[in-house]
Amino acid sequence: MAVKIRLTRMGSKKRPFYRIVAINSETRRDGRALEFLGHYNPMVDPAEIKVDKEKVKKWMDKGAQPSDTVRSLLKEAGYEG
């Protein structure tokens, strides 16, 4: 099972809110997540990024690969992993 760390969309139309999740790579975008790792809210200024660094480290140690977007968000949030 290949695990990815990626965004799943929440919120309403025209008001996006994203959760950062660990999810099986074959699962659809908004499918059932293995674990919630944080959230990203682009609608506030500045954009709000909250990440549980211990959970992200745990999943990356298990071999989970972050998507390009999540990788940039983690870098912006100050995660060095």
pLDDT at position 30 = 85
- pTM score over 0.75: yes
Average pLDDT of each block of 10 consecutive residues along the chain (81 residues)? 92 95 91 94 95 95 95 89 66
pLDDT at position 1 = 66
What ranges do the domains of the chain cover? 1-47
pLDDT at position 81 = 66
Nearest to 65 by CA among 25, 15, 10: 25
Provide the CATH number for the domain formed by 1-47 in this structure.
3.30.1320.10
Please check whether residue 60 is in contact with residue 51, taking contact to mean a CB–CB distance below 8 angstroms.
no
